[in-house]
Amino acid sequence: MRDVVGVRALDGAFAGDLIGPADGPYETARQVWNGMVDRRPALIARCADEEDVVAALRFARERDLAVAVRGGGHNVAGSAVCDDGVVIDLSAQKHIDVDPDRRIARAQPGVLLGELDRATQTFGLAVPTGNVSMTGVAGLTLGGGLGWIARKHGPACDNLLSAEVVTADGDRVTAGAGEHADLLWGLRGGGGNFGVVTSFEYRLHPVGPQVIAGGVVHAFSDAPEVFRFFADFVATAPDELSVAASTFRASPALPVSPEMHGELVTVLAVCYAGDLAEGERVLEPLRSFGRPLADLVAPMPYTALQSGSDAAYPNGQRNYWKSHYVDEITDGAIATLEEHARRMPSPLSSFYFQHLGGAIGRAGADTAAFGHRDAVFDFNILTVWREPAADAENVAWARDLSAAMQPYSTGVYVNNLGTEGADRVRDAYAPATYERLLALKDAYDPDNVFRMNQNLAPRPI
Ligand SMILES: Cc1cc2nc3c(=O)[nH]c(=O)nc-3n(C[C@H](O)[C@H](O)[C@H](O)COP(=O)(O)OP(=O)(O)OC[C@H]3O[C@@H](n4cnc5c(N)ncnc54)[C@H](O)[C@@H]3O)c2cc1C
């Protein structure tokens, strides 16, 4: 590569790939999941190991270059890449170790959810992660990690037992119960603010291998009854059951009658991860409620559930998300959703409520920085389209709906945030947690080297 930023200084000190603007792989390597993000780093340092991370970080700091850290590259804000700086790209680090006897798994930071699921399900075990298998374990865990089995086993971050971290000074430390316990607390929900995690050690749980999953499809014209039923039903759900209510326009891929294609539907999507006969019993009221257009609920492998939504979230589409935690789905909220859903400009967009609670709410604030554990629903507006010319219309629709839902908001999940500013990062945590995070940032990254993230800016002295 051309010596654009003095990269020759890394010759012999770097085992992975150094990719600059003049190199063939650059155009692909700078892309992230969200097609709205178009940044041009000076250098992409695709690290082979921990030594590479230290070398790339030192290189960037000595030259006062911005630093971005890339895991799975799925963050909607595109914080895995920066303009003009150095991307510490961990995507090639894919090693996974599973110890089924001790029920522990270690994952390198380039591992994707589906890769971790495949390795752990071989033993009938799983780490609770998220719902789309192409997402990176790194960013997901560091922000929290909410998925189908979080109500039973907690978010991913609660199952992070320890982490190997390269700090802003290039030191290598282990954050665990015995050492740097404060750092482990921060890594469990405080995002990428404190260092580069080069290894994640997780607690494993018996899961599946079969679960009951799928969805019951309702016409959106029945939305008021469906949302009220959903809110009542989940209020007494056992921890084994997770339900989400998702609204979108039916594509021909959805097995409903052709006249419903292009029409709004609300799907009650479920996962029951427990005794299958008991799951059938628990799900019976949900499956017999109302006037379903289709019932797609069935036993299936946990890995099939985990990858079943992948096709709906391909790389490179334009994405703009808005999100709130919501405690109650009131009649006012339902009326707001009805009004805005009908004006949804793109057939690729959706909004959903994911029911939380269970083990998510039971851990104390001392366990993890992860915020708003008592939230009842994660409400997310996923605005998705393909044409840049449609940016303004789609962004405006999402902003309008988000503003209209603001009266019901109790906070926000940090991993759902786009580039929304410091106040929204603050909204992701209770005040005492936020203060503790700022103190931790002061201790581990006082110069704010790690600022391409949902940033906890260090306090002025
Ligand atoms: C299609 C899709 C589905 C999703 N589904 C869910 C879901 O079901 N549940 C859920 O909880 N979330 C979900 N998310 C949100 C997801 O958790 C976040 O986008 C998360 O940041 C993705 O992690 P990543 O490693 O892929 O991201 P990246 O974009 O690579 O990284 C995001 C940020 O994390 C930090 N980071 C990444 N790796 C490291 C590291 N090794 N050390 C230090 N910092 C690091 C950096 O600050 C980086 O900017 C989903 C996102 C998408 C796009």
Ligand 1 close to Cβ of residue 452 (< 6 A): yes
Taking the centre of ligand 1 as the mean of its atom positions, its distance from the CA of residue 71, in whole angstroms, is: 7
Q: Is the pLDDT of residue 323 over 70?
A: yes
pLDDT value for 360: 98
Instruction: Find, among 196, 180, 245, the residue nearest to 56 by Cα.
Output: 196
Ligand 1, atom nearest to 78 Cα? 29
pLDDT value for 4: 64
Cis status, amide bond into 258, omega within 30 of 0: no
Ligand 1 close to Cβ of residue 196 (< 6 A): yes
Nearest protein Cα to ligand 1, atom 6 = 130
Ligand 1 close to Cβ of residue 128 (< 6 A): no
Q: pTM for the whole thing? A: 0.97
pLDDT value for 227: 98
Q: Is the pLDDT of residue 3 over 80?
A: no
pLDDT tens digit string along 68-109?
A: 999 999 999 999 999 999 999 999 999 999 999 999 999 999
Phi, psi angle pair for 203, to nearest 5°: -80, 140
DSSP bridge partners of 442: none
The beta strands (E) that lie in 167-240 are given as 172-175, 196-203, 205-206, 210-219
Q: Is the pLDDT of residue 460 over 80?
A: no
Ligand 1 close to Cβ of residue 75 (< 6 A): yes
Q: Is the pLDDT of residue 291 over 80?
A: yes
- Averaged pLDDT for residues 284-306: 98
User: What class is the 7-89 domain?
Assistant: alpha beta
How many CA atoms, within 13 angstroms, populate the side-chain half-sphere of residue 362? 8
pLDDT bin (cut points 50, 70, 90) of residue 7 is confident
pLDDT tens digit string along 187-241?
A: 999 999 999 999 999 999 999 999 999 999 999 999 999 999 999 999 999 999 9
pLDDT value for 5: 72
pLDDT value for 143: 98
Mean residue pLDDT of the chain comes to 96
Given a contact cutoff of 8 angstroms between Cβ atoms, the answer to whether 195 and 444 are in contact is: yes
For residue 16 the two structure tokens come to 């992975």
Tell me which residue has tokens 């020759």: 8
* DSSP-based three-state secondary structure for 360: helix
Ligand 1 close to Cβ of residue 242 (< 6 A): no
pLDDT bin (cut points 50, 70, 90) of residue 30 is very high
Ligand 1 close to Cβ of residue 142 (< 6 A): yes
User: Looking at this protein, which amino acid is placed at residue 315?
Assistant: N
Ligand 1 close to Cβ of residue 131 (< 6 A): yes
> Span 96-207: which CATH code?
3.30.465.10
Identify the helix (H) or strand (E) that includes residue 417: none
CA distance 373 to 32: 29
For residue 245 the two structure tokens come to 């209510």
Q: Is the pLDDT of residue 1 over 60?
A: no
The beta strands (E) that lie in 255-331 are given as 264-272, 294-295, 298-301, 318-326
- Domain extent listing, the chain: 7-89, 96-207, 210-416
Q: Is the pLDDT of residue 180 over 60?
A: yes
pLDDT tens digit string along 330-385?
A: 999 999 999 999 999 999 999 999 999 999 999 988 999 999 999 999 999 999 99
> Span 210-416: which CATH code?
3.40.462.20
Least confident window among 51-55, 203-207, 219-223, 455-459: 455-459
Taking the centre of ligand 1 as the mean of its atom positions, its distance from the CA of residue 226, in whole angstroms, is: 31
- How many other CB atoms are found less than 10 A from the CB of residue 285? 11
- If one residue of 44, 67, 76, 140 were mutated to test the ligand 1 pocket, choosing by the most ligand atoms within 8 A of its CB, it would be 140
pLDDT tens digit string along 399-446?
A: 999 999 999 999 999 999 999 999 999 999 999 999 999 999 999 999
Ligand 1 close to Cβ of residue 415 (< 6 A): yes
Q: Are domains 7-89 and 210-416 of this chain identical in fold?
A: no
Given a contact cutoff of 8 angstroms between Cβ atoms, the answer to whether 186 and 194 are in contact is: yes
pLDDT bin (cut points 50, 70, 90) of residue 461 is low
pLDDT tens digit string along 252-280?
A: 999 999 999 999 999 999 999 999 999 99
Instruction: Find, among 257, 271, 250, the residue nearest to 350 by Cα.
Output: 250
Taking the centre of ligand 1 as the mean of its atom positions, its distance from the CA of residue 111, in whole angstroms, is: 11
Given a contact cutoff of 8 angstroms between Cβ atoms, the answer to whether 86 and 19 are in contact is: no
